[in-house]
């Protein structure tokens, strides 16, 4: 019998973020995929480029009062408030489940104080299976930290620098779209040693019950996600791409593969699929397949050729 022929993928879908290599540019967004195991019966997690965990903090958090989600015609409001099991429980209970799928696990971390981020990394860094860190300096649903850090370029720089001292693993900073100009914040993260940026988190929003005249969400404001924010975050990716050289991960309102391709053309090396997963648990896999078909149809042999290929007529 002759040798078995190994069929090669006609398109190079690999992406590098710092020292991290992804088999394709599609990952899950933090807060929308739990710790991975929850979706195992519904999709082939091993086909993802990477998995980003739900946000982890030093201590367990109960999160904000209910109701914490309000559905809208073009997306949803959420004010979960970073509810999570805390870092020690994550290491003991969740991380072993997250790493079993054979793809990079990017641990999303957040803190009430600037020093919490570096402390979290110092606790996590020796654990097997942690491939990289995503610094959540942009959550709009907490009273301390989050957006208060993310809107301040100096705070972002300090947090990133402290985390850089704590690890040699890739650091990705998740930025907020709730600023007039994202460029100074992106530059600050890059200068402090970030390997990549996630652009961007949810847009600040709210909804009101006109019968009771009360906010739909007890926290009052919330993070708005879904297709309605894609034009906003797409513009933020464009602005950030002009400001920095490190890879950008596009996030916000990706509901299908053409949405993902828009982000990549605009300047993202990779993308995160978030709230669309609630409607279709397999959407991230469909996005991977769609991007690959698009590249083949265009005669492009590498995803890198597409990144930041936006054609602007002056």
List residues with catalytic annotation: 139
Q: What angle do CA 235, 222, 71 make, to 5 degrees?
A: 90
State how far the Cα of 257 lies from the Cα of 254, in Å rounded to an integer.
Answer: 8
At 268, list the tokens.
Answer: 């993202």
Helix H, strand E, coil C: the string for the chain is: CCCCCCCCCCCECCEEECCEEECCCEEECCCCCCCCHHHCCCCCHHHCCEEECCCECCCCECCCCCCCEEEECCEEEECCCCCECCHHHHHHHHHHHHHHHCCCEEEEECCCCHHHHHHHHHHHCCCCCEEEEEEECCCCCCCCCCHHHHCCHHHHHHHHHHHHHHCCCCEEEEECCCCCCCHHHHHHHHHCCCCEEEECCCEEECCEECCCCEECCCCCCEEEECHHHHHHHHHHHHHHHHHCCCCEEEECCCCCHHHHHHHHHHCCCEEEECCHHHHCCCHHHHHHHHHHHHHHHHCCCEHHHHCCCCCCCC
Length of the chain: 314
């Amino acid at each position: 019998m002759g040798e078995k022929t190994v069929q090669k993928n006609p398109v190079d879908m690999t992406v590098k973020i710092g020292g991290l290599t992804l088999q394709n540019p599609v990952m899950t967004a933090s807060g929308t995929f739990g710790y991975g195991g929850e979706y195992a019966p519904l999709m082939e997690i091993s086909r993802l480029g990477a998995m980003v965990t739900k946000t982890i903090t030093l201590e367990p958090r109960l999160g904000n009062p209910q109701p914490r989600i309000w559905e809208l015609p073009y997306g949803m409001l959420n004010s979960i408030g970073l509810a999570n099991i805390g870092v020690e429980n994550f290491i003991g209970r969740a991380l072993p489940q997250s790493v079993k799928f054979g793809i990079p696990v990017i641990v999303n971390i957040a803190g009430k104080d600037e020093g919490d981020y570096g402390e979290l990394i110092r606790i996590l860094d020796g654990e097997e299976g942690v491939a990289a860190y995503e610094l959540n300096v942009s959550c709009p649903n907490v009273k301390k930290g989050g957006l208060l850090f993310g809107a301040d370029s100096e705070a972002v720089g300090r947090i990133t620098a402290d985390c850089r001292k704590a690890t040699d693993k890739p650091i990705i900073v998740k930025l907020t779209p709730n600023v007039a100009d994202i460029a100074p914040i992106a530059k600050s993260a890059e200068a402090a040693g970030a390997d990549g940026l996630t652009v961007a988190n949810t847009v600040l929003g709210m909804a009101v019950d006109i019968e009771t005249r009360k906010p739909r969400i007890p926290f009052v404001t919330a993070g708005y996600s879904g297709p309605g924010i894609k034009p906003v975050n797409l513009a933020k990716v464009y602005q950030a791409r002009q400001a920095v050289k490190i890879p950008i991960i596009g996030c916000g309102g990706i509901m299908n593969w053409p949405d993902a391709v828009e982000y990549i053309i605009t300047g993202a090396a990779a993308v995160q699929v978030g709230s669309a997963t609630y409607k279709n648990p397999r959407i991230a896999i469909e996005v991977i397949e769609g991007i690959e078909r698009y590249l083949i149809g265009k005669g492009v042999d590498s995803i890198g050729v597409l990144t930041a290929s936006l054609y602007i007529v002056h």
